[in-house]
Structure formats: C-alpha cells, structure tokens
Structure 1
Amino acid sequence: MTEKTLSQTKYSVLDLAPVTEGGTPADSFKNSVDLAQHAERWGFNRYWMAEHHNMPFIASSATSIAISHVLHHTDSIRVGSGGVMLPNHAPLVVAEQFGTLETLFPGRVDLGLGRAPGTDQLTAGALRRNLESDPNEFPEQLEELRGYFAGENRIHAVPGEGLNVPIWLLGSSGFSAQLAGQLGLPFSFASHFSPNNTEGALRLYRQQFRPSDVLDEPYVMVGVNVIAADTDEEAEYLATSLQQQFLNLVRNTNMLLQPPVENMEDVWTPREKLALMQQLGSSIIGSKETVKAKLESFLQETEADEMMVISQIYDHDKRLRSYEIISEIMST
C-alpha cells in the first residue's frame, strides 16, 4: 500500500473554547470566531467544538449554540461537534438541533457523537436527571437518532427529517471503533488524550468496517495535540499550559487554562509527570521542522485520512500562530 503523505492528508481544528486565567467565556467565544475565520482562510477542512460540563476552563457546554455562532461568522468551512455526548440528550432533540443548523447552513454541518458524559458523575446526573441509562444503550440511541434523519420513526424531527447531516462516531477505546466499522460510518479517535489505545482502536475499526450508503471504505480521523511555535524552546514553554490543564484534571482542581511556566518540575510530582506523559504521549511540540517530522511519523503510524489538531495555548495570538504553522506544513 502506498504511504500517505502530509500533503494528501486533510487537517481540521478541534476548539475546546478554552477559558483562560484572567479571561471570560465571552472572550473564549470571540477567540473561537477569530480562530475559525483564520482556519477557513488557511485551508482547514472542518472546525469542531466539544461538549463538556462543569469544567470552568471549557466554554462550549451548549455545543450546538456555540457551533451556530461559528457558522454565522464563517462562510465555507464545515463546522460541527467533536462531539455531542449522545447519552446526555434525547435523540429527538439532537436531530432537531442539528437539523436546524443544517437548514440554516446547508452542506456545512457535521454531527460527531460520543457515548461518554463529558463530565463527572454528579454532573451527568444533573444532565440526565438519573443515571439509570447505560452507556451500552448507545447503539440504540444512535439508531433512533439516525431514524429521525431518515424519516423512519413514528415521531418526526422538524427540521431534521430528510436532511443529510453526516454522522461521525468518536471514541477513545474500541467500543465506538467497532460500532462505526459495523455501521460503515466515519470514525474519529481521541489520540490527543488516549494515545495508548490508538493502534488497537483503528485496527478494530478497519477490520470491522462494512461498506454502507455513507462510505465505501473506512475513513479515519485522529485527534492530536500540536503546539507549534517559531522555535522548539518556545513551543515547549507554551505546551506547559496544556500540561497544567491535564494536571489540574488529575488533581480535580478545575482551574482555568493557566499561563505557561518556565519549569514544570516545580509544578508536578514525578508520579504525576509519568502519568501525564503517558496520557499526552502523542502530543507534537516544536518548531515547524520538528512538527512536520513528527506529523509525518504519526501519519505513518495511524494511516489517518484526516488529522484534527488541538492547540491548547494560553495566548490567543500564539495559538493562531500554531495553526498558521500547521497550515504552512499542509501546503508544502
């Protein structure tokens, strides 16, 4: 099989709408629009936002509304969810919301779906009112949702029914990989926080894949943290904000996205460092040349069709520069 090259690979953006120390959610949404507009000009394929709850450093909890805001301020880039956590919602409501988005912005909306709550168990209970629903009911919820778009259910989703809203399954393990393969749907894997499961999940997806009216062959997108800067040293410095974010998740301290620090050894313990280096093991940090080489290696390992880049950087201008560097790599 011919090896894929970076120039043959599509690139997209996952925006976690970070709320930074000293900033507000309003600032986050302003920055999201600015980043999306730049991503559109730089040739990125799609722009996704993610559903999280009870996390003060992520503003995109009302994900479909945040997506609508970005759609209103861009012209051509695909915008969608990476993802909507389906067990938190009635499938009918999701069909109506994304049917509305597709009606307003035809041909530009993606619906990526996850089966995790995107939050802690207490908050999941507040979202669902109870936790009797089992994540293993996800296939049935997905079937119901797809039925609304196909017009196969007794209840009608208006808008939604008859519309072509591409559905992706998202995962960080093998469950959604297998299901996406069996249904012939595109699959996006969260390598940015589950690198050790990447190879197995992608292999399972490709092995289980059955052609459908959606896809003739497997289509894989992988999420990857990329912190790019003009020098390796600057990139390593900027990456400490991402490292602090994951450290705060481990410690359950729920802080806003922190400014970078000169030395993480002053912040984490050796045990915490080991754990985080495993969780962030696929992160790509460095100058243009370093990032390009690491992206090439990552592409050969995953044989991905598309890479979804997360640049979780405290300073918005530095974040823009990271994506600009990636766009320069894309065009060479």
Structure 2
Amino acid sequence: MIPFSVLDLAPIPEGASPADALRNTIDLAQHAERWGYHRYWLAEHHNMPGIASAATAVLIGHVAAKTSTIRVGAGGIMLPNHAPLVVAEQFGTLATLHPDRIDLGLGRAPGTDMATARALRRGLDNGDGFPNDVMELIAYLGDPTPGQNVQAIPGTGTYVPIWILGSSLYGAQLAAHLGLPYAFASHFAPPALEQAIAVYRETFRPSRHLESPRFMLALNVFAAETDEEGLFLKTSMQLAFAYLRTGRPGPLPKPVRDIAEHVDPAMITQVDHALACTAAGSPDTVREQLQGFVTRYAPDELIITGQIHDHGARLKSFEIAADVLGTLETP
C-alpha cells in the first residue's frame, strides 16, 4: 500500500474566523490519525485572508501535541522568508518535543506577494540562495563539526527529515543532487509534473539521507456520496483560485451549483488546468481517478488536500479518501 498523507492550509471558510479554522485543523488531524494517514503537513502562506497557517511551526507544534502517532510537518516552510538557523531551532525544538514525528519540507517561493515578502525578510535574493540555505539548514540539524561556532540548540543532532518541494524542474534537480526526497506541487501547478519526475529519478544521487529516489505526488480530493455532490464541493476551490487570479483573495467561498454563473468560462478553463490533478465525485469515481494517477506517475507516497467550505463535508471527504487510498493497486 502506498503511504498517504494530508496537506492542510487551515482554510478560513467564508463566514468563519481564524479560530474556527485552527479548531478545524486539530479536528481533522485527529481524525486523519485514526483513519491511517501517514503524515499531516501544513503549508506556509502569508497575508492570505483564507489561510490560517502562516505561523507554520507554531501550528505544527499544536497539531503534534494534540495527536500521538501521525507524523506532523511542513509542506512547506518557504526558506527565503527565514534565516536557516531560526528554522533549525524551531524544528529542532519540535523534534525534541515530539521525537521521530516531525518532517520539514522546504520551498523556494515566498508564499505570498512581494510586498509581504519584504515585510518578512529584508535583502531578498529571489530564491537564488536557496541551495546554500538548504545545505546550511541540514548542517545545523546534523552533528556539530570541529570549530563550528554557531549551533542550533535544540536542533543539533536531531536529523529532522528534510524534503524539497517544488512545482518546476529546479526543485527536482536540487533534490536529486542532494539525495533528498521530493514532493511536487501537482495539486495546483501540474504542467511540469512528468518532466520533473523524470529529472528527479534519472539524476538522483544516493546520500546519507536517502539511498534511492522518494517521490511524493500531491492531489486534490473532493469525495462525497455522489458525483454531483463531490463536484459541488470542488467549486469552493475553483472560486478561490479564480478570485486569487483576478486579485480578489478572500476567505474560502461557499460552494455553488453552477460555477459558470459566477466565473467567466475562460477563467474556469485556466483554473481547471491548474487543478488538473484532482479526484472529485463518489467513492467509486474517486477510486478510479486516484488509481489513474497512481498508475501513470508511480509515486512512492501520496499527499492529498481538499479546500472544502463545510467542515463536516471536509471530514467526510478525507474519510472516504482514506478508505479508497487503502485499496489502490501499486504499479
């Protein structure tokens, strides 16, 4: 069975508050643990009215404290926003409090607009220093070397597992070069997916971190009792993407029965292209669609997300997904 995990952005639904979103995250994490999910990752985004996971390390610590066995981590931390030493201290502390349960996924994008990025960290390098920052962070989490004057405490010797995240060939090449596991953001940026997988697998260099390539595929899932209901739930994410692309970000919209009444057809086409790696519908339909992705891309792990407005429907979707994911055939 392919390990399967949750990617959560702690969505703030229209009509709800950030406090509601964070309570929903804890509830989903506790259910995901019981349903057999392997990891529970949270993503760093800033200045987004519909996302409550900005203080990612803080939220990871809270989720880890409210669960007991599921791995909890970042999917991911946007490293250009932070000094590597600070990230090492944060995740070293998390790993010390929750041994062998913490993951650290690293991204190169700022996860926000440039004005907010400047507010987060001055002297931005547009991600050009990302490889060096990754290596510096790995060093802080490893054993100290002779003459090393700066250490992450806690952090040193924790060897927090690091993943490289990406939606282009850049991350695939870096993960392969460093011998690290790689997760592709196919849930919102699928165009380079096949090429990135090929580059990562063909150029992977074994390391002390990993002997062979380990690739994680990200998918959207909107599962319900019927196809109609699953597609209805999906419209919240379609609307959110459309509003974001037209400069109107906001809380996660309520779903609608006919999205064509709310979004221009050309924009719907763009959004559906971005969300091409999506399974939506009844359990049988979702199973068939997920099996298609697994057969086509042969991932070593799956991570699923689902921006669903109603928390009860969101829980049901992840429950159905867990039942389906446990039955998929591996290539």
Tell me the TM-score range normalised by the shorter chain.
over 0.9
The answer to whether 1:77 aligns with 2:70 is yes
1:14 matched to which residue of 2? 7
1:107 matched to which residue of 2? 100
Residue identity in the other structure for 1:135: G
The answer to whether 1:141 aligns with 2:133 is yes
Residue identity in the other structure for 2:261: D
1:281 matched to which residue of 2? 276
Deviation at 1:277, TM superposition (A): 1.5
**Counterpart Cα distance in 2 of 1:120 and 1:331:** 38
1:163 matched to which residue of 2? 158
2:231 matched to which residue of 1? 236
Matches within 5 A, 1:1-332: 8-131=1-124, 133-150=125-142, 151-152=144-145, 153-332=148-327
Task: Tell me if the contact between 2:243 and 2:249 (Cα under 8 Å) persists in the aligned partners.
Answer: yes
Deviation at 1:302, TM superposition (A): 1.1
Q: Report the number of matched residues.
A: 324
Q: Please, which moves more after superposition, 37-46 or 279-288?
A: 279-288
Deviation at 1:291, TM superposition (A): 0.5
- Structure 1 residues 282, 207: CA separation in 2 closer, same or farther (over 3 Å shift)? same
The CA RMSD over aligned residues, in Å, is 0.9
Aligned-pair identity in percent equals 51
Compute the TM-score of the two structures, normalised by the length of structure 1.
Answer: 0.96
Deviation at 1:54, TM superposition (A): 0.6
Residue identity in the other structure for 2:8: D
**Counterpart Cα distance in 2 of 1:208 and 1:84:** 25
The one-character-per-residue Cα deviations of 1:248-284 (angstroms, maximum 9, x if unpaired) are: 1101111100110111101111221121111111111
Deviation at 1:196, TM superposition (A): 1.4
Q: Describe the SS at the equivalent of 1:97.
A: helix
**Counterpart Cα distance in 1 of 2:170 and 2:6:** 24
**Counterpart Cα distance in 2 of 1:264 and 1:184:** 43
The one-character-per-residue Cα deviations of 1:268-305 (angstroms, maximum 9, x if unpaired) are: 11221121111111111111000111111101111101
Task: Tell me if the contact between 2:287 and 2:325 (Cα under 8 Å) persists in the aligned partners.
Answer: no
Gaps of 5+ in 2: none
**Counterpart Cα distance in 2 of 1:66 and 1:296:** 32
Residue identity in the other structure for 1:105: H
**Counterpart Cα distance in 1 of 2:96 and 2:28:** 24
Residue identity in the other structure for 2:153: V
